[in-house]
Amino acid sequence: MENEDIATEAPEADASAAPEAPLGELVEILMAGGPVVAILVGMSLAALALVLAKAWQFAVAQPGRRQEIDSAVAQFRAGDVAGARATISVAKGVMTVPVVSAIEALATGRSPAQARADSFRLASDQLEALRGYMRPLEVIASLAPLLGLFGTVLGMIAAFAALEAAGSQVDPAILSGGIWEALLTTAVGLAVAIPTVAAVNWFERRIERCEHHLESALTALFAADAAMPDTARPVMVAAAE
């Protein structure tokens, strides 16, 4: 009976220890890469933190939200300034700030030139805020594969130096072991760079679309104001107030 209990309990012990083995092997492999792999691991953690911060920033800023902006611009172009002001006042997202400024400035009779300058300045400020922390991500995406290649070169130098030191008693394991450890840094560098490049391009595309939509909305507003007859402006301003 005791032997049967031991036999039944042994698989449970092996099952609990099994998940730890791959983790231990992974740690050993990364340690074999030396200080270059340690630097790349640190860069990967920094890139992950930056990507999460940017994702949170975009979720709060909502740069893709433009339904209310399109509605407000359409109302303004149709002459319904009061409706445009009401629509844009409840809009959310980073894109609404310069559009609100433009509509309010034009509705209250301010100089179109001054209103245009202020609105595009606000748009530039909002877009610059969205581009925050993009440069560190770009640096990580660029340096990670270069660091991996640098580690590979150092590893190959060490492998061939060990091969030379062995003299006539050459062991193929010396060369093969040094080569796979050298190539490890390149693999880690690419593993860090590939998702970072993908994230950078996704964020940049979102910013480019936001910039295009903002420019389109502001241009439409000021074009509609320029085409508006002078006799209609006082009536529309009064209706808006």
pLDDT digits (tens, 9 = 90+) for 149-187: 988 888 888 777 777 676 666 666 666 666 777 788 888
Distance CA 110, CA 15 (A): 75
Tell which residue, 153, 201, 190, has the closest CA to residue 43. 190
pLDDT digits (tens, 9 = 90+) for 63-103: 767 788 888 888 888 878 788 888 887 777 778 888 888 88
The SS3 call for residue 31 is helix
pLDDT digits (tens, 9 = 90+) for 156-165: 887 777 776 7
Tell which residue, 142, 136, 104, has the closest CA to residue 122. 104
Residue 204, pLDDT score: 93
Distance CA 225, CA 229 (A): 9
Q: How confident is the model at residue 134 (pLDDT cuts 50, 70, 90)?
A: very high
Provide mean pLDDT across the span 203-214: 90
Amino acid of residue 220: A
Per-domain residue ranges of the chain: 37-240
The SS3 call for residue 64 is coil
